[in-house]
Amino acid sequence: MSKSGSFIIAALALVACVASASAQFRVGPRVGVALNTLRFDKSAFNSDNRAGVTAGLQAEFTIPVINLAFDASVMYTRRSAEAPVSTVLPDGSIYRSRDFVNIPVNIKFKFGIPVVGKIITPYIFTGPDFAFLTSWHAVADDWTEKKVDIAWNIGVGLQLIEHLHISASHGFGMSKYIDILKPIDGKYMSGRNNYWTVTAAWLF
């Protein structure tokens, strides 16, 4: 092996050792607000944003040397949505709340800022979000929901005083989540969940 090849391998090994030695694992509570929108094949039936809540635990594994991090959360999420057809629910409304267990998994890049890095660190992140519906049924025989929903998150955030994480993300529905059980204009329609999530986490 050439000297240059040996030098590159040695340098990579050194970086890997330093990264492993300085890697950080932290965990803590996470809470926030989720704004949900249902998107259907026909724009006339798209619902407006409806607010819900989310809360759970987040874990983060950070490699400071390269400003790269990975995080995963287990969250209880309540989303609200407008019925996609002229359905009146038993309580007299046209809105329904749904409960999920969400497991978002993200890769995160942190922007190190000299001098103030220990006070404020901006970051960007992206990754899949797996949502498991905890209760499901047809609504007045008009629409029904799938047990598992998959989305892709893209977001930004701030790490403050090395512990507080405030972030905002948009989830793009990747799977068809809702099926309309009655034909509309002769067609059976399906919808996807799109949502905004704003959260705060405190990692120890």
Which tokens sit at 51?
């607010």
Whole-structure pTM over 0.75, yes or no? yes
Residue 49 CB burial class (10 angstroms; 0-12, 13-18, ≥19): middle
Query: What does the DSSP 8-state code read for residue 52?
Result: E
- Would you say residue 107 has pLDDT above 90? yes
- Burial of 100 (C-beta count, 10 Å sphere; 0-12/13-18/19+): buried
Asked whether 90 and 72 are in contact (CB, 8 A), the reply is no
Reported as a single tens digit per residue, the pLDDT across 26-40 is 999 999 999 887 766
Write down the domain spans for the chain: 24-202
Note the CATH number of domain 24-202.
2.40.160.20
Q: For the chain, give the percent of residues with pLDDT over 70.
A: 65
